Amino acid sequence: MKKLSALFISAIILFSFSFCCTTKGSSKYPIQKNPSFEVTKATSNTWVGGQPGVRGYNVVITIDNPNVKLDSVYFRNTKTSLKKNSMAESPLFVGVFTLPNTKHDFILHENPAKEYGNTPLKLNLPFSLKSNEAAVSYMYKKKQYYLKIENVEEVKSTEKY
At residue 17, what are phi and psi to the nearest 5 degrees? -70, -20
Q: pLDDT (tens digit, 9 = 90+) per residue, 68-97?
A: 888 999 888 888 889 988 877 788 899 988
Which of these, 43, 28, 40, lies nearest to 137 by C-alpha position? 28
**Residue 118 pLDDT:** 63
Q: CA-CA-CA-CA torsion for 104, 108, 112, 116, nearest 10 degrees?
A: -20
**8 Å CB contact between 73 and 60:** no
Beta strands 134-140 and 92-99: pairing type? unpaired
Q: Inform me whether the pLDDT recorded for 54 exceeds 60.
A: yes
All domains in the chain, ordered by first residue = 26-153 (2.60.40)
Over residues 45-63, the mean pLDDT reads 85
At residue 53, what are phi and psi to the nearest 5 degrees? 85, -5
**Residue 22 pLDDT:** 43
**Residue 78 pLDDT:** 85
Minimum mean pLDDT range among 4-8, 44-48, 51-55, 144-148 = 4-8
**Residue 104 pLDDT:** 59
**Residue 17 pLDDT:** 58
Distance of CA 156 to CAs 38, 39, 44, 45, Å?
24, 20, 9, 6
33 contacts: CB under 8 Å, gap ≥ 6: none
Over residues 57-72, the mean pLDDT reads 87
Q: pLDDT (tens digit, 9 = 90+) per residue, 92-136?
A: 899 988 887 766 556 677 777 776 666 655 666 677 788 888 889
14, containing H or E segment: helix 2-17
Q: pLDDT (tens digit, 9 = 90+) per residue, 11-41?
A: 667 656 555 544 443 456 667 777 878 888 9
19 contacts: CB under 8 Å, gap ≥ 6: none
- Specify the higher pLDDT residue, 51 or 55: 55
**8 Å CB contact between 41 and 61:** yes
CA–CA dist 40, 78 (Å, integer): 23
* pTM flag (> 0.85): no
